[in-house]
Amino acid sequence: MEDDKDIRDQVLSTEQMIEGNSEWYERTKDFWIKSPATVSGMLGALPHVAPPDEKDSLNYLKGMYRHRATPMTGTIALDIGAGIGRVTEKVLLKCFTKVDIHDQNQNFLNKAWGRLSSYVKSGRLRNKFASPLQDFTPPEKEYDLIWIQWVIGYLPSMDLIRCLNRMKAALKPGKGVIVIKENCARDEEIIDNDDNYIIRSVENWTKIFNKSELHVVSARRDESLPKSIMPVYFFLLSPNDDSVDDDESEIPMKEMKKSKAKMQELKMRKEKSQTKKERKRKYDDDEKCEDEIEEDEEDEENEEEEEEEEVKVGQKKDK
Ligand SMILES: C[S@@+](CC[C@H](N)C(=O)[O-])C[C@H]1O[C@@H](n2cnc3c(N)ncnc32)[C@H](O)[C@@H]1O
């Protein structure tokens, strides 16, 4: 395991001096204690962002699980940094049978419990975990999906890497995934000192996710959000792409696997043709060797023809 400094040097530029200490986290906590427990409060006084955000997130999940009727039987999701349960209500409960919510602000969680009391009664809204994300350990091997929106910017990179490792352990083996929806800087990181929120570039987010040994299956911008706000990206993360089962729902993973296989095939073909070219180059001045190569190739073709002939003969015999 690389030490903290190595990772920080690779991942960060402006963030190098930040340590996730109590002082750092107090500022965030105070900011949110003073924020109203409303949709507008959750979205920095930009409530008009909510409808397009929720619609595109729902479309994103429906695209991911496209052959399955929703809410999907037997599935459980966890909403991290859920606040008053805006995403839980408008997105996760539409797709998953059960949802657990997490936030460090008890007041927001209570508000969610009250607003969504019918789901609490039916048992579909199951647990509320009040805990700082930097310390939170969710139950192991529990979730089909962990949704993390507009909250990981509060964690300096080392705490974030450790946190993602704990999230990884909370996924159902072989099929659980993490979706992160987060602001992305157009170039350099930006730190908002009002609430100690770090906006990293897509490249740096990806580096951090990879450090947590999570595989970035896809990253795409939410184009439906107003252009006046920071670019917001969906990152789909999987513990490892081989561990995903072949369920029809896992379309992005399947596509990833297919394109990986294709890349592998292209690489092999390239290597093969390079070896031939190298051989030709090596013996460029030597016509005799050129002839040898051509003879080799002819031999290969003849062998293939002979093999085909043998197969045909074998088939006739079988008849
Ligand atoms: C911008 S709001 C997003 C809420 C929700 N994800 C949404 O999209 O509506 C950020 C939330 O993160 C929570 N939060 C901030 N820092 C946190 C931390 N260190 N641990 C847990 N929750 C935190 C805040 O209490 C707040 O509810």
Residues 105/126, Cβ–Cβ less than 8 Å: no
Question: Within 10 A of 26 (CB to CB), how many other CB atoms are there?
Answer: 11
Which of 151, 154, 155 maximizes ligand 1 atoms within 8 Å of its Cβ, making it the mutation to test the pocket? 151
DSSP 1: -
Taking the centre of ligand 1 as the mean of its atom positions, its distance from the CA of residue 76, in whole angstroms, is 20
Taking the centre of ligand 1 as the mean of its atom positions, its distance from the CA of residue 230, in whole angstroms, is 17
pTM score over 0.95: no
Is 151 a pocket residue for ligand 1 (Cβ < 6 Å)? yes
- What per-residue confidence (pLDDT) applies to 294? 54
CA distance 30 to 195: 8
- Kindly report whether the peptide bond that precedes residue 71 is cis, defined as omega within 30 degrees of 0: yes
Tokens (6 digits) for 193: 């000192």
3-state secondary structure of 318: helix
Q: Report the sign of the C-alpha dihedral through residues 237, 113, 42, 227, in that order.
A: positive
Is 65 a pocket residue for ligand 1 (Cβ < 6 Å)? no
Is 77 a pocket residue for ligand 1 (Cβ < 6 Å)? no
Please spell the DSSP secondary structure of 104-137, one letter per residue: S-HHHHHHHHHHTHHHHHHTSEEEEEE--TTT--
Per-10-residue mean pLDDT for the chain, 319 residues long? Answer: 57 54 92 98 97 98 94 98 98 98 98 98 98 98 98 95 97 97 94 95 94 94 96 95 40 44 53 55 49 50 46 35
Q: Which H or E run contains 9?
A: helix 4-11
- What per-residue confidence (pLDDT) applies to 156? 93
Domain ranges of the chain: 4-244, 256-318
Q: Report the sign of the C-alpha dihedral through residues 109, 113, 116, 120, in that order.
A: positive
- What per-residue confidence (pLDDT) applies to 174? 93
| CATH topology classification for 4-244 | Rossmann fold (3.40.50)
- What per-residue confidence (pLDDT) applies to 240? 73
Residues 130/111, Cβ–Cβ less than 8 Å: no
Atom of ligand 1 nearest to the CA of 28: 16
